[in-house]
Amino acid sequence: MAANATTSPLATIKLGAASVAPQLEYVIDYVSNASTWSILATLLALAVVYDQCMLAADKHLDSCNLS
């Protein structure tokens, strides 16, 4: 069987035409080359940090309650 030689236009999109700040090129390159698992692990870590910060803020507000 012959292999399908066509590729999806979305699979070959490059950011060459878009003007991106030089500071963001590293971030865009890293995210575009990251695997699904590394992105999910990063999102999980950010969720844990957010949860811990909210817990610390709640405890701080409770200790400041004078009533």
Per-residue pLDDT tens over the stretch 13-45: 565 556 777 788 888 888 888 899 999 999 999
Greater confidence, 19 or 5?
Answer: 19
Q: How many domains does the chain have?
A: 1
Q: Give the domain range for residue 51.
A: 23-67
CA 27 from centre of chain:
9
pTM of the model: 0.50
Helices (H), the chain: 22-33, 36-63
Q: For residue 41, is it within any domain?
A: yes
Q: For residue 39, is it within any domain?
A: yes
CA 14 from centre of chain:
19
Q: For residue 16, is it within any domain?
A: no
Q: Are 58 and 45 in contact (CB under 8 A)?
A: no
pLDDT of residue 46: 94
Q: For residue 64, is it within any domain?
A: yes
- Tell me the two tokens of residue 58: 């709640």
Q: For residue 7, is it within any domain?
A: no
Q: For residue 2, is it within any domain?
A: no
